[in-house]
Structure 1
Amino acid sequence: MNPLLQQHCDQLRALHRPGDPLLLANAWDVATARATVAAGFPVVATTSGGVAATLGYDDQENAPAEEMFAAAARIARGVDVPVTVDAEAGYGLQPSELVAKLQQLGAAGCNLEDTDYTAAGSLRTAQEQADWLAAVRKAATDAGYPLVINARIDLFLGPFLSGAGPEQLAELLPAAIERAHAYLAAGADCVYPILLWEQDSLRRFAAAVDGPVNVLRLPLTPPPDELAAMGIARVSWGTLLHGDAMTRFQDELSTLTGDLKPS
């Protein structure tokens, strides 16, 4: 086991402190990763959406796995802090293959989703995902690799994108909590109910889960100090910073068109 990677895994795990959340400004290439470190963030997290877009693909495992891993490896080589990689749903790899890829590229941690992209984006059952996470944890343990696993819960994703409000999302809380318990018992270090944003629902989820919780920092999500008071351990920005950066770039481009003259 690479001593530096061991150190980075230990650092990342230690930064998951409920009530003192680790803030993750997700990067998509070496330049944004280095800017993140220069701004004082102790960890770099990647965003699969931003990385895929940079490579010319859509998100949700539409980019070839080897290209995604190569991009993550460049980021890990380019900074001197722990890097946690958005590995989506594992790209159809066997747990041992996935763990070997992550270890080889120098990932201290990873995000793993419970969406099944081979089945039209449906969710794996809680038991199926827990069994798969347990296999990932075993493969990492067998390799002497203390990989930090952030288990994403995608239960709220479809309803949110379809316009469901706080009341509809709250109805899914019991099932989401069941998944959180199963994933933590399987060996995950943190659970991530992506797109659960309403304050009361987040408070109920965090209170019911005996383990670190990651929250996506949507504009509607309570600010980090309020999330800290709920006991949240990790706050990430996902694809939001990449989206903002692209919007600003497009706005800047639009100001240049006045300088263009017909040839």
Structure 2
Amino acid sequence: MNIVTRFRQLHRDASPLKLANAWDAGSARMIESLGARAVATTSAGVAWAMGYQDGRQLPVSEMIATVRRIIRVLSVPLSVDMENGYSDDPQTVANNVMQLVDLGVAGINIEDGHDTPSILAAKIEAIRRAVTSSGADLFINARCDVYLAHLVEEKMRSDESICRGRTYASAGADGLFLPGLAEPTVIAGVAGATQLPLNVMAWPGLPDAETLGTLGVRRLSAGSAISQTVFGKMKALAEGFLRSGESSAVSDDAMSYADIQSLFQQ
């Protein structure tokens, strides 16, 4: 069974596939070592780790280089968040995606953001054509920002998300990602109205994974939350050390050197 087929099957379980998003090879390997069945990147975390702001600022070359390093240390499927594909031109986006396919990724996230649905649909169609023509396969997760970016009035968000989901499915998408969607009744309604596996993101008030599974959710992502928390912890530790110069605090809860080294044994 190839890695894309394995990844597809993970979206068919009653319990959602839980993705604790990574931002570099070290975080990805750590997540895998904890028993993760797959790993996904967070575009925000990757951008910050490379010294860029989130929001379509990361050069494609930096993204590709990060993915190459992550692939080297993983044996589970990897899905890559590539924002809008880092171009407005569908063929350029498809070319970018094929570089990831050549590296061996199992899936991608690609978003609409403030773009019209037709733009993302055209990108998905171009990606699917390129992947199929190459004889490869790829799980395309269409991220719809209707809820996250408040693209329409609240009472219209469910219908708009369903409509976009159908458009993206027709274009060749394999999954529908709705970050910001958290209300159980609405989740169930959207899940029942789309043919694509529904992906939601960790969010205040979101039900737990077991409950989400009963509502029809098939994928649960941490998004940038873990990387944000790591930055918060790092800030607190570094501030304390720079202020006091005391050594003990920076080692609290530290993973041992030997255990970290063991993650990367060849």
Q: In structure 1, which of residues 27, 44, 51 is the aligned counterpart of residue 46 of structure 2?
A: 51
Determine the C-alpha separation between the residues in 1 that align with 2:196 and 2:14: 12
Which residue type is aligned with residue 95 of structure 2?
E
Matched, 1:200 2:185: yes
Matched, 1:231 2:216: yes
Matched, 1:158 2:158: no
Tell me what 1:149 maps to. 140
Q: In structure 2, which of residues 110, 113, 116 is the aligned counterpart of residue 112 of structure 1?
A: 110
Structure 2: gaps spanning 5 or more residues: 247-266
Task: Pick 1 or 2: higher relative contact order, CA cutoff 8 A, min separation 6.
Answer: 1
Cα contact 2:209–2:220 (8 A) shared by 1: yes
Which residue type is aligned with residue 138 of structure 2?
L
TM-score (ref. length: structure 2): 0.86
Q: Percent identity?
A: 34
Cα offset, 1:18, TM superposition = 5.5
Structure 1: gaps spanning 5 or more residues: 1-5, 116-121
Tell me what 1:220 maps to. 205
Cα offset, 1:207, TM superposition = 1.2
Tell me what 1:86 maps to. 81
Q: In structure 2, which of residues 21, 25, 30 is the aligned counterpart of residue 26 of structure 1?
A: 21
Go from structure 1 to structure 2 and tell me whether the alpha carbon gap of 1:30 and 1:204 turns closer, same or farther (over 3 Å shift).
same
Tell me what 1:130 maps to. 121
Go from structure 1 to structure 2 and tell me whether the alpha carbon gap of 1:258 and 1:57 turns closer, same or farther (over 3 Å shift).
closer
Determine the C-alpha separation between the residues in 2 that align with 1:13 and 1:251: 40
| Number of aligned positions between the proteins | 243
Tell me what 1:119 maps to. none
Indicate the SS of the match to 1:172: helix
Which deviates the most, 15-24 or 212-221? 15-24
Determine the C-alpha separation between the residues in 2 that align with 1:24 and 1:170: 29
Cα contact 1:169–1:196 (8 A) shared by 2: no
Cα contact 1:90–1:98 (8 A) shared by 2: yes
Which deviates the most, 11-20 or 74-83? 11-20
Determine the C-alpha separation between the residues in 2 that align with 1:64 and 1:24: 24
Cα offset, 1:236, TM superposition = 0.4
Matched, 1:97 2:87: no
